[in-house]
Amino acid sequence: MVFAHLAEAAPDAASLWLAWNLSPTLVLGILVLTALYFGAPAWLRRRSWHTEPLTPWQVAAFSSGLVILVVALMSPIDTLGDEFLFSAHMVQHMLIGVVAPPLLLLGIPAWMIEPLLDWSPLRRAMRALAHPVPAFGLLNLDLWLWHAPALYNATLANEAIHIFEHLTFIVLGVIFWLPILSPTPLIPRISRPFAILYLFGGCQPMVALGALLTFATAPFYTAYVDAPRIWGMDALADQQLGGLIMWLPTNIPYLIALSIVFFKWVGAIDRREREAVGEFEGTDEVVTEQASQPSAHPIA
């Protein structure tokens, strides 16, 4: 593992702050994502595809997703999670699997991905994966499988397995959010009432796994039992803190999205009722018509 030499003894704070993971694979991956995103408009224009300027909101959202990935995978959080603290590893998993994916999706406009979906086999595959049942099931099955002690310990012992684990969290995290945040009608979003149920359901596997870890009476992961203790936290307390992180903070993005969808749904119902009694007669018809259509807001 990167910085494995730090595991020989409990490090001081200065050593941890310097323990950045500058693996060429990680650096290259972040640079490739950045180049693809900001280079896509020029590349598509050269091939006569329709493009539009990226909006400040889109650039900010995608850039925030990239920053979250850098913080999660390259900052001292990575070293802490790999070598010392299960709870730090849960913060990392939360960032790459739950926080970064919706930000990346919010930054991608329809015109950027629709040329890819012109290829019908890929379009059919993406529509199938973005159906709520597989989108929900794949991420949560993946989450539970990787936290099984045997697989989890394998990720800490083998860097290739660890990289694959992180890739599955990111990719399946994006797929999970597609039914809510799909940027293109070629991969349709689900209705607002269904989206509320979907997001509420998305919290439950995290809650269950978090509770299992929090109320455990013994540590599950041998790598942390043998790790040097830092900050006065033993392996069981560290695991319980990790469970609480998964139980509560990890669900915050879901609850924020759920709240936005709920209030937009209620607002649309209220507007339709007011239209039905003629409250908007004589006002701008275009505004009224737009209110009855699926929202173009990033979270519809």
Q: For residue 111, count other CB atoms closer than 10 A to its CB.
A: 17
pLDDT of residue 13: 57
Using an 8 Å Cβ cutoff, are 241 and 87 in contact? yes
Using an 8 Å Cβ cutoff, are 170 and 97 in contact? yes
pLDDT of residue 283: 58
pLDDT of residue 184: 93
Task: Report angle CA 92, 7, 65 to the nearest 5 degrees.
Answer: 15
Which residue in 204, 209, 124, 140 sits closest to 176, CA to CA? 140
Q: For residue 300, count other CB atoms closer than 10 A to its CB.
A: 19
Exposure string of 39-50, with b = 16+ CB inside 10 Å and e = fewer, is: ebbeebeeeeee
One-letter amino acid for residue 129 of the chain:
L
User: What is the DSSP annotation of 200-240?
Assistant: HHHHHHHHHHHHHHHT-SS-S-HHHHSSPP-TT--HHHHHH
Rounded Cα distance between 240 and 258, Å, is 27
Q: Along the 300 residues of the chain, how does pLDDT read in single tens digits?
A: 444 444 455 566 567 777 788 889 899 999 999 999 999 888 888 877 888 889 999 999 999 999 999 999 999 999 899 889 999 999 999 999 999 999 999 999 999 999 989 888 999 999 999 999 999 999 999 999 999 999 999 999 999 999 999 999 999 999 999 999 999 999 999 999 999 999 999 999 999 999 999 999 999 998 898 888 887 788 999 999 999 999 889 999 999 999 999 999 998 887 887 777 777 665 554 444 444 444 445 666
Report residue 71 CA to chain centroid gap.
14
Q: pLDDT per residue over 43-95, tens digit each?
A: 888 877 888 889 999 999 999 999 999 999 999 999 899 889 999 999 999 99
pTM given for the model? 0.86
pLDDT of residue 296: 44
Q: Residue 122: in which H helix or E strand, if any?
A: helix 120-129
Q: What is the domain partition of the chain in residue ranges?
A: 4-291
Rounded Cα distance between 214 and 1, Å, is 27
Rounded Cα distance between 84 and 10, Å, is 8
Question: With 0-12 CB in 10 A as exposed, 13-18 as middle and 19+ as buried, what is 102?
Answer: buried
pLDDT of residue 212: 94
